[in-house]
Amino acid sequence: MVKKQIIMEKSLELFAENGFEATSIQQITERCGISKGAFYLHFKSKDELIDSLIDDFMTKFVAKIERSVSEGQPKEELLYNYLNVSFSEFGQQANFAKVFLKEQIHAFNEELLNKMQGYITILNKILLSIVQRQFDQLHPSMYLDIVFATSGLMKSHAELFLIEHYKVDLHVLCSSIVEKVGIIAEHAKIQAIAPEYLSSVNIKTSYSKEQLMELLESIQQETEINSIIWESLQMLNENLQEPKLSGALIQGLLKNIKVESRCVWVAYLYQSYLENEK
């Protein structure tokens, strides 16, 4: 399936250059040096292409972030790692970042929008967990303010080198943001964002039991899944139908499947489903 990869790369180039709506299948096939028919051998429609692009990048991205801020890491370095992975990934996949992270998302249909919003919510949740761990002396009412301050600082700097092509030393950039966030966390008193905000976002992006089961099964059907992950998925699926596993067992199974980057996303959905249930 080399050709599929080529289509994805070249189309991402074109989307970054001209935007999603303004890029035609014709243009994509021309740049790939293939015929129009060949495109439709790999993708059912233009929407399926963009769907694949989002999943392909975001599952890997979330998995890398997740790994860099996992439990083993020293807590002082969590935010730095998050920023470092984010920016270096943006740099390597500048085209994706240009198209999707700049949220020129108007052009998408509702389904894609929800999908993208889901990933962004996950990233915000990871960021929230970082803030909670790294700034543990902070009053919880300020958590969300710090989360949004961080993503704001990230955004303005990301634009500088995505659009203006302004080059900065990666280490200096991350250190400077860590410093600024740290300073805000230490001194800021005025709270702008109420914690209720988070729950309203959670509800909006949650999946139903049936959607979740379908998702678990679709991953099981992939060929390269190993047996431990397969069994874990199976048990998680059964537990949805008939809840009988304890919280600790579920957490263990979720850790099992998070090894596979394709599953990190599902693990989050599963977790937020359980949170919404109880």
Of 255, 181, 242, whose CA–CA distance to 209 is shortest? 242
Residue type, 100: F
CA angle 185, 190, 194 (to 5 degrees): 90
DSSP 8-state secondary structure symbol assigned to residue 194: -
Q: Is 154 near its own copies (CB under 8 A)?
A: yes
Q: Which of residues 12-41 bind its own copies (CB under 8 A)?
A: 16-22
Q: Is 173 near its own copies (CB under 8 A)?
A: yes
Q: Is 169 helix (H, G, I), strand (E, B) or coil?
A: coil
Q: Rounded to whole angstroms, how far apart are CA atoms 216 and 266?
A: 8
Q: Is 41 near DNA (CB under 7 A)?
A: yes
Nearest to DNA of 26, 226 (CB atom):
26
Which listed option, DNA, its own copies, none, makes contact with residue 277 (CB within 5 to 8 Å by class)?
none
Using the contact rule CB under 7 A, the part of the chain among 31-39, 102-110, 225-233, 264-272 near DNA is 31-39
Q: Is 37 near DNA (CB under 7 A)?
A: yes
Residue pointed to by tokens 């085209």: 95
Q: Residues near 98 by Cβ (< 8 Å), separated by ≥ 6?
A: 16, 162, 163
DSSP 8-state secondary structure symbol assigned to residue 206: P
Q: Is 214 near its own copies (CB under 8 A)?
A: no
Of 257, 232, 247, whose CA–CA distance to 277 is shortest? 247
User: What backbone torsions phi and psi does residue 9 show, to the nearest 5 degrees?
Assistant: -65, -50
Of 219, 242, 215, whose CA–CA distance to 230 is shortest? 219
Nearest to DNA of 38, 113 (CB atom):
38
Question: Binding its own copies by CB under 8 A: which of 103, 214, 217, 222?
Answer: 103
Q: Is 199 near DNA (CB under 7 A)?
A: no
Using the contact rule CB under 7 A, the part of the chain among 43-51, 69-77, 146-154, 245-253 near DNA is 43-51
Question: Binding its own copies by CB under 8 A: which of 36, 180, 209, 255?
Answer: 180
Q: Is 193 near its own copies (CB under 8 A)?
A: yes
Question: Binding its own copies by CB under 8 A: which of 6, 112, 128, 184?
Answer: 184
What burial class does residue 31 get, using C-beta atoms within 10 Å of its C-beta: 0-12 exposed, 13-18 middle, 19+ buried?
Answer: middle
| In contact, 253 and 236? CB cutoff 8 Å | yes
Q: Provide the binding-site residues for DNA, judged by CB under 7 A.
A: 3, 23-27, 33-38, 40-41, 44-47
Residues at the contact surface with its own copies, assessed by CB under 8 A:
16-22, 98-99, 102-107, 145, 148-149, 151-157, 159-160, 163-164, 166, 168, 172-173, 175-177, 179-180, 183-184, 187-193, 197, 200-201
